[in-house]
Amino acid sequence: MCGIVGAIAERNVVEILLEGLKRLEYRGYDSAGVALLDGEGNLTRTRRTGKVKELADALHTHPSKGNIGIAHTRWATHGGVTEANAHPHFSSDRIAVVHNGIIENYQRLRSELAAKGYGFDSDTDTESIAHQVHYELDQGADLLQAVHNAVKKFEGAYGTVIIDKNDPERMIVARSGSPLVIGFGIGENFIASDQMALLPVTRRFMYLEEGDVAEVTRTNVTVYDQDGQIVQRDIVESDIEHDAGDKAGYRHYMLKEIHEQPTVVRNCLQGRLGEHGISPNIFGQDADSILDNIKHVQIVACGTSYHSGMTAKYWLEQYANVSCNVEIASEFRYRKSFVHPNSLLVTISQSGETADTLAALRLAKSLGYSSSLTICNVPGSSLVRESDLAFMTLAGAEIGVASTKAFTTQLTGFLMLTLALGKHNGMSETDHKAIVDGLHSLPSKLEETLSLTQGIKDLAEEFADKHHSLFLGRGDQYPIAMEGALKLKEISYIHAEAYASGELKHGPLALIDDEMPVIVVAPNNELLEKLKSNVEEVRARGGIMYVFADKEAHFQSDNTMRVINVPHCSAAIAPIIYTLPLQLLSYYVAIIKGTDVDQPRNLAKSVTVE
Ligand code: AGP
């Protein structure tokens, strides 16, 4: 989704801005632009549709310079993908603005501003920010006050940076609903929507909070809260690796991230899982006493993170004796829901900035939940800062739009949450030991599972000309089938549906023919015989199946079925293990189809608008 980079320095900031935009490419975008203000008071702008490279080429062909600059990657919401709609937006060649989020009342603002004589060059909501600030300046406010006044008129979400040609010593930034981080340099300062953009220039960051407006000069940062009072926000040192954005020799980030899973799962367990169980308070300070009273868990998330929540429901109810509901965040936030006594609200998110999940957490605070926990991958993100408890998944930067290692570390975290809640709710010794042993074996089992790569590459050839597919699973493998289907559709653009296989005869069987590959996840568990019956239902109707199965499940390859044996593993960790072959399958199908694996069409990594 949209990305912002800004810089104010003695030096020319063009390369800092371009590098920042490149590092934000993973978020997904369709156009990019830069505005630069130089020491002579010249404000210039360059915008291009397509990749940041087109913008960089344009800036190198017609060199521009500036000591202050703002840059943006746009993921279209209001108005098509055109240069005119790309940011930065100007007002009267004086004010330049970049913006993430959506100004929901922009049509009313546009009418009001048009009535005041402002003309619009784009179809965006953002242009009204530029004109509104300009209007406030015309009323006699200085730039800082103009932004304070303007934001009072905005409804919706914004992370915005504004520069004024007539006020060349500062940038003004404002945040409401869309994250912004200020980066501190020596004699220069920076702003971005994501610290990844700024890692080459600083490691010291300050996260703005909701309603904050900040004045950023070369040497100083002053933050005002929503009441206009000066406030201090913490400065934190980032420990994200500078080269987290490298592909480390892999063809795509997604493949690198798939292969990192044994290591990151090991990191996620380290220091948290001892020989006989989890360490105290791994979910945050005082977590154990908070979890002691929890009798119900409400999970809220989107996309892949929702699938990890779906899996967790099976675990929490089966092993920890705690009731659990799971809901898609965009549904949860817009309906009246029942809050069980002693409920824990759990949000799950790779980015920690997903707009619907964040809104769900904020709503939950007013609903009477006992406490909130986030399972999240990005330190300092909004969900981490606003939740009572946080469990960091420690997967490292995930760049590929298709979530892989974030998912398996979320599941690892959920197994530990199952242990933590189970302790207070009568979990059996046998289940406790099975989960602990399963977790200890998890990194090496994941390594073993990666060795299936060659067989899956061969299998992927058979998918390349298909337009539809069906994924089947039962029990805690049903959400894994859902995740497999999501992966295939998002990066290979093949239509994929997942069903709990017991549902087949209630409708989807009508779809079965030899053009509809059916992918089955079949560990050797207590539902195996039921699953085998479902497989026979497909076979009887001429379906072609690809079965990922435990060897001991005794499936045989024949002319209607290809069996890929997955390393034997304990039941508790099977959903995590069976995720890997499905990730690899999607990846190699996408390679054959030649799609943009890391940045699939129409998608964004961090969905910061609802
Ligand atoms: C998964 O491959 C997707 N990119 C998407 O479904 C993602 O999981 C979803 O947008 C939620 O993101 P989050 O985990 O950052 O909240």
429 pLDDT band, cuts 50/70/90, is: very high
Q: Convert the pLDDT of each residue in 433-485 to its tens digit.
A: 999 999 999 999 999 999 999 999 999 999 888 999 999 999 999 999 999 99
pLDDT digits (tens, 9 = 90+) for 471-528: 999 999 999 999 999 999 999 999 999 999 999 889 999 999 989 999 999 998 888 8
User: 350 in ligand 1 pocket by Cβ < 6 Å?
Assistant: yes
Q: Residue 404 C-alpha to ligand 1 middle, in angstroms? A: 10
Kindly report whether the peptide bond that precedes residue 88 is cis, defined as omega within 30 degrees of 0: yes
* Test site for ligand 1: of 26, 194, 257, 305, most ligand atoms within 8 A of the Cβ: 305
* Contact indicator for 377, 233 with CB cutoff of 8 Å: no
Q: Is 302 in the pocket of ligand 1 (CB under 6 A)?
A: yes
Kindly state if the Cβ of 402 falls inside 6 Å of ligand 1: yes
In whole angstroms, give the CA distance from residue 540 to residue 512. Answer: 10
Instruction: Choose among 418, 577, 398, 329: nearest CA to 26.
Output: 398
**Which active-site residues does the annotation give?**
2, 605
Q: Is 349 near ligand 1, meaning CB less than 6 Å away? A: yes
Ligand 1 atom at minimum distance from 606 CA? 15
**pLDDT tens across 219-253, in order?**
999 999 989 999 999 999 887 765 656 788 899 99
Look at 60-74, 395-409, 530-544, 579-593 and tell me which has the smallest mean pLDDT.
530-544
How many secondary structure helices (H) and strands (E) does the chain include? Answer: 18, 25
Identify the three-state secondary structure at position 145.
Answer: helix
Q: Is the pLDDT of residue 536 over 60?
A: yes
Query: Does ligand 1 come within 6 angstroms of the Cβ of 483?
Result: no
Please name the helix (run of DSSP H) or strand (run of DSSP E) that holds residue 206, with its range, or none.
Answer: strand 204-207
Q: Which atom of ligand 1 is nearest to the CA of 490?
A: 2
CA within 13 Å, CB half, 552: 9
Amino acid 90: pLDDT:
97
Report the predicted TM-score, pTM, of the whole model to 2 decimal places. Answer: 0.79
Q: Whose CA is nearest to atom 13 of ligand 1?
A: 349
Mean pLDDT of 323-338: 95
CA-to-CA dists, residue 590 to 463, 483, 495, angstroms: 10, 16, 13
Q: Tokens representing 331?
A: 């549904």
Q: Is 357 a pocket residue for ligand 1 (Cβ < 6 Å)?
A: yes
Q: What is the pLDDT of residues 4-59, one digit of tens each?
A: 999 999 999 999 999 999 999 888 889 999 999 998 999 999 999 999 999 999 99
Mutate to test the pocket of ligand 1, among 254, 308, 607 (most ligand atoms within 8 A of CB): 607
Tokens of 178: 């869309």
Hey, which residues does 4 pair with through a beta bridge? Answer: 72
Instruction: Ligand 1, residue 351: give the atom nearest the CA.
Output: 15
Q: What is the pLDDT of residue 64?
A: 87
Of 7-11, 280-284, 322-326, 537-541, the poorest mean pLDDT is in: 537-541
The model's pLDDT over 251-272, given as tens digits with 9 standing for 90+, comes to 999 999 999 999 999 999 999 9
- Ligand 1 atom closest to residue 357's alpha carbon, by position in its atom list: 16
pLDDT, position 594: 93
Ligand 1 pocket member 305 (CB < 6 A) = yes
Which numbered atom of ligand 1 lies nearest the CA of 604? Answer: 4
| Residue 312 pLDDT exceeds 60 | yes
Distances (CA, A) of 184 to 65, 100, 171, 239, 357: 21, 21, 14, 15, 29
Q: Is 505 exposed, middle or buried (0-12, 13-18, 19+ CB in 10 A)?
A: exposed
Measured N-to-C along each axis, helices 52-61 and 14-24 cross at an angle, to the nearest 10 degrees, of: 170
Q: Is the CB of 403 under 6 A from ligand 1?
A: yes
Phi, psi of 279 (to 5 degrees): -75, 160
What is the 451 CA–ligand 1 centroid distance (Å)?
26
Contact between 223 and 233 under an 8 Å Cβ cutoff? The reply is: yes
Q: Which 3 state secondary structure label does DSSP give 3?
A: strand
Distance from Cα 66 to the centre of ligand 1, integer Å: 36
Block residue for tokens 């945040």: 175
pLDDT at res. 567: 95
Instruction: Compute φ and ψ for 550, nearest 5 degrees.
Output: -65, 140
Q: With contact defined as beta carbons under 8 Å apart, do 8 and 68 qualify?
A: yes
Dihedral sign for Cα atoms in the order 462, 468, 474, 479: positive
Model confidence at 535, pLDDT cuts 50, 70, 90, reads confident
Concatenate the DSSP letters of all residues of 33-87 into one string. EEEEE-TT--EEEEEEES-HHHHHHHHHHS----SEEEEEEE--SSS-S-TTTSS
The stretches of 98-225 forming alpha helices (DSSP H) are 106-115, 127-138, 143-151
Residue to substitute in 300, 307, 330, 354 for testing ligand 1 pocket (most ligand atoms within 8 angstroms of CB): 354
Residue-averaged pLDDT of the chain: 94
pLDDT per position as a tens digit, 173-214: 999 988 899 999 988 999 999 898 999 899 899 999 999 999
The atom number, within ligand 1, closest to the CA of 406 reads 14
The interaxial angle of helices 405-424 and 429-450, nearest 10 deg, is 170
Say how many Å lie between the CA of residue 247 and the centre of ligand 1.
20
Ligand 1 atom 5: residue of nearest CA: 303
Asked if 71 and 32 count as a contact pair (C-beta separation under 8 A), the reply is: yes
**Residue 587 above 60 pLDDT?**
yes
Predicted confidence (pLDDT) at residue 608 exceeds the cutoff of 80: no
Question: Which residue minimizes the CA distance to atom 2 of ligand 1?
Answer: 402
Taking CA atoms only, the protein residue closest to ligand 1 atom 7 is 303
Longest dimension (CA), the chain: 80
What contacts 201, CB < 8 A, 6 or more positions away? 7, 16, 183, 185, 188, 190
Question: What are 561's strand-pairing partners?
Answer: 545, 558
490 lines ligand 1 (CB under 6 A): yes
Residue having the nearest C-alpha atom to atom 10 of ligand 1: 303
| Ligand 1 atom with least separation from CA of 303 | 6
Tokens encoding 505: 């005869």
Distance of CA 301 to the CA centre of its chain: 10
Q: Is the CB of 373 under 6 A from ligand 1?
A: no
Q: Is the CB of 608 under 6 A from ligand 1?
A: no
Q: What pLDDT was estimated at residue 610?
A: 77
